[in-house]
Chain A
Amino acid sequence: MNDSIREIIEKVLAGDLDQYRVIVRTFEADVFRLAAPVLGSRSAAEDVTQDVFIAAYRRLDSFDLAEPFHPWLLGIAANFVRNELRRRSREDRRMELYSHYLDAMTSRESSPDGADALSDALARCRERLAKTASAAIEGRYDEGLGLEALADRLQRSVTATSQLLYRTRLSLRDCIESQLALAGGDS
């Protein structure tokens, strides 16, 4: 485990609660990214992220300092996400599908560089979007509008708005893929 993280955890365990803020800030993006696509909304993912860090704090004295912190924390997060799905009666076959994602995310090492590269690529790709597509993504994700409200704003039918969001996300995916390939080639 990263020495500085271990030292911070030791300080938290010794009673310095403010140090826990560093832990939250370091890992909250990873926990949020694990929860968001499975739970489907920013607010639900933020609630779970908050619960995960509170649960992790309560269990911190059982954490083995010789082990890496990131997978331990994401293991707790994956359990919270699964529990939330069960609470919504969404387990069954969907759980199989989400498991691919949860397993991939929890087994992946923490890599702020990788997350930043993805985030930068997304920002660049969003800039290239056509005006309507950009407005659709902005309304849906930045403002959290529902499909009907978004359709109303874009003055389109719900079906057309849904199709627009589908196509825009696929083009963003393809754009990010080529951006990351380019960046890989550069290095």
Chain B
Amino acid sequence: MKRLDELTLKLLDDTIKEDEVGELAELTQESEGQQSLLQLMELESQLQACGRSSIADRVLEQIRQERCERVEEGVMRVVSESQTPVRELTDAAGNKSLQFTLVVASIAALAACLLFVIFAIDQNEHEHRAIAQLIPHGSNVRILDADEKVRSVVTADDSVAVRSNETIETSQAFDIAEIVYADGTKLELLGETKVRLTARPDGSKQITMLSGLVQADVAPQPEGRPLQIVTQAATLEVLGTTLGVEVREASTQLGVATGRVAMTRKADGQRVEVAAGRFATATESTVEPLQSHPFPDLPREWREDFEDGLPAGWRTGELIELENATTVQAIRPRRSNSERFVITSHNAWQEGEHALCKIDRDSVLHLRIRQRAFARITIMIGTRSYPPARGRVGGNLFYTKKAWNEDLPPDTWKTVSIPLKDVAWQMKQGKRVNGPSELAGIAAYLIHISTENEDAGLTIDRMWITNEAEANQR
């Protein structure tokens, strides 16, 4: 039996081992291998389908059932509301008037029933009406319903309608999701962000930010109905502008690129208007006055050598001593079901530093790296526009060169230098763009290095970003 066939059948029987999955993936890189895989999968589908009976009756029955439940729910609400006035009238009147009252109440209940059925259907349609489209650019973007239950895990680049009171969550550091409203308002949810979207009764938009980072381009909103962003620490009112919002457990940072945004601190109701090119941070404390500040200039270089341990807020990686050096080893993220082994820096934006450093075409990422065995390693750099500018730039940069670490000798420290102009954009202004791209006006706020192979023994001793043009000038 050919190895390819054997592995395909194991895949179909769900008896395949993890390392064999990788082997099969390699074998199906070429079209011949893919064809063979398809043939066996198609045969399996035919075998499964043998003697199968139609599910049409089951489908129609369930649709009818759902329709009935909706109508019944509306009628039950009417009946329970109509009982109270009947009892009150009975207490106040004799038997004859009671009969009359019951007839009137029954007619009223019937009329109300009809109205409620119509209302219930309308209401149901309102609740199920899409208020925005979700376009995920990662594989772990989830939609939670009003009860916080997962309604859907959305596949990258599929567009899905979002309904009022649903929550969108980007579970992992490298997930990005875009939310687009009918008026052109766009929200970009960066990694590990959770927001709930609500259509308020007056038609205005409300976004409840539960955690994470959002960059928004807000189209002009109707007068008196600003888009409202609610966080634990503040309420923001936006009429139409470009802004970024970062939410931590007890603080909210607002950065404005164009226009003005009103920020109200929930703790004491203090309000500040934040103008373009400025930022403000609201916390639950009222000791400091709520003020806006200009964005500080950022360095063009950054360095981390772990000699003082892991920096505050470091996301993933285990500190280990190796050959008298303090290093960080890739581990499985604790809060995720990912099977990858990961080193993720702190999120400088969320740690109140705005970013690690500014980057441009002359920026180079250096890693002093050690691996036990070769495995595919992915590098991702989270970037944001800095200072925020009109239109959204930033997004995740992926280093896509295959097998860049293939020639590294095992268990030996080597420095790898990666010019950032060689990375590929995953997303730029809401569009996926492959290949090297313009790097201007952005800053790196997070670095994520991962492999799916534990045997790789991925360890980093130092990581740093330099600017070659600046270094040459020195």
Report A's interface with B, CB cutoff 8 A.
Answer: 17-18, 20-21, 24-25, 28-29, 32-34, 36-38, 40-42, 45-46, 49-50, 53-54, 57-58, 62, 79, 82-83, 86-87, 89, 91-94, 96-97, 100-101, 104, 118-119, 122, 137, 140-142, 147, 162, 165-167, 169-170, 172-173, 176-177
Query: Is B312 among interface residues, defined by CB-CB distance under 8 A?
Result: no
Which of B1, B34, B37, B153 contacts A83 (CB under 8 A)? B153
Shortest C-beta distance, B174 to chain A (Å), equals 15
- Asked whether any CB of chain A lies closer than 8 Å to the CB of B474, the reply is no
Q: Judging by beta carbons under 8 Å apart, are A20 and B42 in contact?
A: no
- Chain A residues in 8 Å Cβ range of B62: 50, 54
Query: CB-CB < 8 A to B56: which residues of A?
Result: 21, 24-25, 28
CB-CB under 8 A for A93 and B50, given A100-B34, A100-B38: no
B5 surroundings in chain A (CB, below 8 A): 166, 170
Nearest B residue to A40, CB-CB = B14
- Tell me if B335 counts as interface (CB < 8 A to partner A): no
Number of interface residues of B (CB under 8 A): 55
A37/B55 in contact, CB under 8 A: no
Interface majority SS (helix, strand, loop, mixed), chain B: helix
Q: Is B39 an interface residue (CB 8 A)?
A: yes
Q: B29-54 toward A: CB 8 Å interface, digit per residue (1/0)?
A: 00000100111111111111111101
Tell me if B152 counts as interface (CB < 8 A to partner A): yes
- What are 15 A-B pairs at a CB distance below 8 A? A24-B59, A32-B45, A32-B52, A36-B48, A53-B55, A54-B59, A62-B161, A86-B153, A97-B21, A100-B34, A141-B48, A165-B13, A167-B1, A169-B40, A170-B9
A20 to B58, CA, bound (A): 12
Q: Which residues in B have their C-beta under 8 angstroms from that of A170?
A: 1, 5, 9
Whether A91 pairs with B44 at a CB distance below 8 angstroms is no
Fill in one digit per residue for B7-30: 1 if any A CB lies within 8 Å of its CB, else 0: 001011111101001101100100
| A43 CB, min distance to chain B CBs, angstroms | 10
**Are A91 and B139 within 8 A (Cβ)?**
yes
Inter-chain CA distance A83–B12, complex, in Å, is 18
Tell me whether B50 and A142 are in contact (CB under 8 A).
yes
A88: nearest chain-B partner, CB-CB: B14
Check if B334 is an interface residue, CB within 8 A of chain A. Answer: no
Q: Measured between C-beta atoms, what is the minimum distance from A127 to chain B in Å?
A: 13
Given contacts A33-B45, A170-B5, A173-B43, contact A141 B37 (CB under 8 A): no
- B301 — which chain A residues lie within 8 A by C-beta? none
Q: Is B64 an interface residue (CB 8 A)?
A: yes
Partner of B47, one of A46, A137, A166: A137
User: How many angstroms between the C-alpha atoms of A34 and B34 in the bound complex?
Assistant: 16
Instruction: Decide: A142 near B43, CB < 8 A? Known: A89-B337, A170-B5.
Output: no
> What is the CA–CA distance of A95 and B34 in the complex, to the nearest angstrom?
14
B108 part of interface (Cβ distance < 8 Å): no
Contact between B155 and A79, CB atoms less than 8 A apart: yes
Across-interface contacts of A57 in B (CB, < 8 A): 59, 63
With a CB–CB cut-off of 8 A, which chain A residues contact B155? 79, 82-83
Contact partners of B6 in chain A: CB under 8 A: 166
Closest-CB distance, B364 to chain A (whole angstroms)? 31
Contact call B25/A40, Cβ cutoff below 8 A: no
Q: How far is the CA of A82 from the CA of B21 in the complex (A)?
A: 17
Name which of A33, A37, A96, A141 has the most chain B CB atoms within 10 A of its CB.
A37
A141, B39: Cβ atoms closer than 8 Å: no
B128, closest chain A residue (CB):
A58
Of A92, A142, A165, most B-chain CB atoms within 10 Å: A92
B452 at the interface (CB under 8 A from A): yes
Q: Which of A20, A37, A58, A87 contacts B44 (CB 8 A)?
A: A37
4 A-B pairs closest in CB distance = A37-B44, A36-B48, A33-B45, A24-B56
Query: Which B residues lie within 8 Å of A119 (CB)?
Result: 46, 49
The residues of A that contact B28 with a CB separation of less than 8 Å are 97, 100
Report which of A17, A92, A96 forms a contact with B63, defined as CB distance below 8 A. A17
Chain B proximity of A156: nearest CB distance (Å): 16
Could you tell me if A36 and B49 are in contact, using CB atoms closer than 8 angstroms?
yes
Residues of B within 8 A of A17 (CB): 60, 63-64
A97 in contact with B47 given A17-B64, A79-B158 (CB within 8 Å) = no
Closest to A42 in B: B48
CB closest chain-B residue, reference A44: B48
Contact with A along B280-295 (1 / 0, CB 8 A): 0000000000000000
